[in-house]
Amino acid sequence: MGLESVTHLDDLDATNPLGTDPRSEGDDHIRNIKSMLLTDFPNISGVVTSTHSELNFADVTAGTLTASKAIVVDSSSKIDNLKVDNIDINGNTISSTDTNGSVTITPHGTGDIILDGQKWPQADGTANYLLKTDGSGQLSWVENLAEDWATKTDGAVASSATAAASSATAAAASADSFDDTYLGAKSSDPSTDNDGDALGAGDLYYNTSSSTLQVYSGSAWATAALSSSGFATLTGSETLTNKTLTSPVIDGTWTSYTTSTGKALVMGF
């Protein structure tokens, strides 16, 4: 009879035994089959209930996720892309395939969410609170107090953020105080300051109608400074109209002048 040498399943010859072989030698073929089964399936100690379709799930390329197939990692213990429900894990990206879907990460019990070494708070903070680190990897929510924060735009920030905030507060108060004292340019006397508060003695504003600086006495506005056309200079030539001169001295001599009415005016010096 034709008896092949069998170690594994693919060593079996489907044409054996021949029809002309003696029936008494059939036990050699049975032994071949039994030896092959024990060699190729050494760890099968119970009933295998998987169907051929289920067994075919294992027909995969390691590291590649294929529809309706089992997951088998490659030699580096990884797969190229994993999809779990609406979550897609691909390379360095974890994303949702659900339209406008959120990705929720929730640890168990008192466990922490740790992102790049930073432990996130385990509970939500109060509205408008800020996230703060303790410098050791623990984040927490803190109240947003203006005096605790400063913004650096150029140069060095003050050694204390509180000092910077205090300086900003003082500067704002100073600007408001100046704005309450100098009211700016206006066409007529104001009745209140720029904040709508009562006027105070010493308040100033520029009158655009008379081109003069006005000062508040505490009860009324008065001209604080005159324009060059409102007074006589030492060297200029000015015309005095409706002015009364009491005991004037001009160049130390008596002089006669004729007024616009034709009357003589004699002055002694």
Q: How far is CA 176 from the centre of its chain?
A: 30
The CA distance from 175 to 40, in Å, is 92
Confidence tier at 44 by pLDDT (50, 70, 90): very high
The CA distance from 39 to 6, in Å, is 10
- Would you state the pLDDT for residue 269? 45
Q: Which residue has the higher pLDDT, 63 or 122?
A: 122
- Domain residue extents for the chain: 176-230
If 0-12 CB within 10 Å is exposed, 13-18 middle and 19+ buried, where does residue 205 land? buried
- Would you state the pLDDT for residue 125? 87
Local structure of 36: helix, strand or coil: helix
- The CA distances from residue 139 to 10, 132, 219, in Å, are 63, 5, 59
Asked whether the predicted pLDDT for residue 267 surpasses 60, the reply is: no
Helices vs. strands in the chain: H and E counts, helices first: 3, 13
Task: Give tens-digit pLDDT for 141-164.
Answer: 998 876 555 555 565 555 556 666
- Would you state the pLDDT for residue 239? 75
The CA distance from 23 to 3, in Å, is 13
Local structure of 200: helix, strand or coil: coil
The DSSP-derived string for 64-92 is ---TTS-----TTS--SEEEETTEEEETT
- Would you state the pLDDT for residue 59? 85
Confidence tier at 263 by pLDDT (50, 70, 90): low
The CA distance from 171 to 187, in Å, is 29
Task: Give tens-digit pLDDT for 181-201.
Answer: 888 899 999 999 988 889 999
- Would you state the pLDDT for residue 144? 81
- Would you state the pLDDT for residue 252? 58
Asked whether the predicted pLDDT for residue 213 surpasses 80, the reply is: yes
Asked whether the predicted pLDDT for residue 177 surpasses 90, the reply is: no
Instruction: List all residues 6 or more positions away from 137 whose beta carbon is below 8 Å from its beta carbon.
Output: 117, 118, 119
Looking at 11-15, 26-30, 202-206, 228-232, which range is the least confident one? 228-232
Q: What is the mean pLDDT of the chain?
A: 82
Looking at 149-153, 177-181, 232-236, which range is the least confident one? 149-153
- DSSP letter at 178 equals H
Q: Which residue has the higher pLDDT, 264 or 240?
A: 240
Confidence tier at 8 by pLDDT (50, 70, 90): very high
Beta strands in the chain (DSSP E): 81-84, 87-90, 93-96, 114-115, 118-119, 130-133, 139-142, 182-186, 204-207, 212-216, 221-225, 255-258, 264-267
Asked whether the predicted pLDDT for residue 254 surpasses 90, the reply is: no
The 10 Å Cβ neighbour count of residue 3 is: 14
Nearest to 222 by CA among 199, 246, 245, 238: 199
Asked whether the predicted pLDDT for residue 130 surpasses 70, the reply is: yes
Task: Give tens-digit pLDDT for 10-39.
Answer: 998 888 888 888 888 888 889 989 999 999
205 with 184: CB under 8 angstroms? yes
